Chain A
Amino acid sequence: MTALTLDVRDVTKRFGDGETAVLAVRGVSLAVQPGEIVLIMGPSGSGKTTLLSMMGALLKPTGGSIRLDGTAISELSESRLPDIRLRQFGFIFQDFNLLSALSVLENVAIVAELAGLRGRAARDKATTLLTELGLAARLDFLPEKLSGGEKQRVAIARALINDPTLILADEPTANLDSKIGHEIMRLLRSIAKEQGRSVVIVSHDQRIRDIADRVLWLEDGAFKDIVTMATDPVCGMAVERERAVSAEKDGDTFFCCSRGCREEFLGGLREDGRADGRQPHGWSRLAGALRSRRRRASTTQSDAS
């Protein structure tokens, strides 16, 4: 596989005109290196899906450019885009988007056929891939007979069948339980790290931060500084680390909402966990401490590229 980079430069997307115009994406820039996993997070309506659609050549940007392996895909005519989508991108969706009338094998093989592989060869290739993903016993099943995790693995096989450069995943763990979600995350990581493919994930799932090389925060259509949240060990309130009052204890850093809580925390710990006769919520205190410890520091970025 050729090492390629997705290069998004100053991309803007506006829907509508005049007073009703909505600027969904505002001058976003982003570069994705081969084998890199980039997680884009942000509140609903922040423009994540619009950005992902533009990166996947499903939507034309209003301004800026998107280059894949040096080719400006944002400038290509509609007639040239199907080949790019077919061979360069692999899509993974929250809703799986499998074709309900086709079996597991056919769902994957059809994409290989679209790329020009003949029927038998396409089926063989799909069978191999699905077997590697642990779906050998499900080849003839219709999607409706599969669990959520199995459906997502089929979608991943479909995304990989044409050996794409870039995997674009939209909320890949959203419809899955915790265990299966982790399984899918491990799979995405191995796709990036063992196969050298770039992976861009749009998600609300905090767990995916664990496998991401970079986490970007999209808000109001633009990348913003990442705010790292922590939980006050005394009152249990979510606080922004950067604005919180920190407290050092036994080599660990804790984040409190106010000096009062900090004093209470430090004093309470000194006095058998009690302060002013008020019992800190034991659970929230412990959980907050753990969260504060576990929270991985993420890169603060104003320009994510």
Chain B
Amino acid sequence: MTDETPTAAALTSPAPSPAPAPAEPLGLPEARVEPRSRARLVWLLPILALLAIAILLVEEWRTRGPRIEVEVPRASGIEPGRTAVLSHGVPIGVVSEVRLDAAREHPIVTIDLHRWASAYATDGSVYWVVRPSIGFRGVSGLETLASGPVLEARAGADGAARKTSFVALARAPLDAASANGLAITLTMPKLGSIRPGSPVTYRDIAVGEVIDTRLADDSTKVLLDVLILPRYAPLVRTSTRFWNTSGFGVDLGVTGVKLRTESLEALLGGGIALATPSERDPQAAPGTVFDVAPEPEKEWTRWSPTIELAPGP
């Protein structure tokens, strides 16, 4: 007996194996023995588990939409997994990654759009960052004070080409619902007090907005990207004149002193006015470039063409 295990030791039979079966002590009750069903049903459990995972994967696949990248001016407060992407306040996706571009100059925000929101990954879609801001145009983005910034988006036109890389607007467009207004470019010798968001007015009515300001490639002038609301797009003709309404001028003449300013908002925030000589000139095409005069010529303010506005609000 070389194998001394407890079981073997417990037997301690003096006789060499095979040990004789010890006599059963009398008086012990006999346990009931019954057939036991083989467990087949229990294998349903892993199958159910696999099924649950399959359902999850299908659901994930069904809800996952395109992945897009948006270059934002500043990424502070934008956090992966937390920052919402909204359209009219409805979540259309979530930020999945924030990183810098290859030149390490611009933050790039990667967004996973919901599947139903794939229209937001088309040419013409616009994105901008909503932060709380207080300006001449009032308080905006107050709801983001506690939640941190959110990205707001507007979809491009139906059937537009797919696009997955965007540059966020510097600020919300004047009427965010109409990102597909008439986009024109204005040139000025210097920027003055014009800022992104400055109004473009016709008879002191805001008809559009300065979206972005930048220096021309040859640095000889300043370029303004301007968006005219679709309804007012017919006002802009090839012969339309633009002038700067920022600041004020003082005219000294025989009739006395004349103070010339447009509105307090324009005085403080800067603005651009436009006038059109005749309704017979063709409408301006998108991307047309106009010069901005420092001040209006006298006759511009007397022009009064009859122009039918586009239907809409």
Pair from one complex: no
Q: Which A residues fall within an 8 A CB radius of B?
A: none
Q: Which B residues fall within an 8 A CB radius of A?
A: none
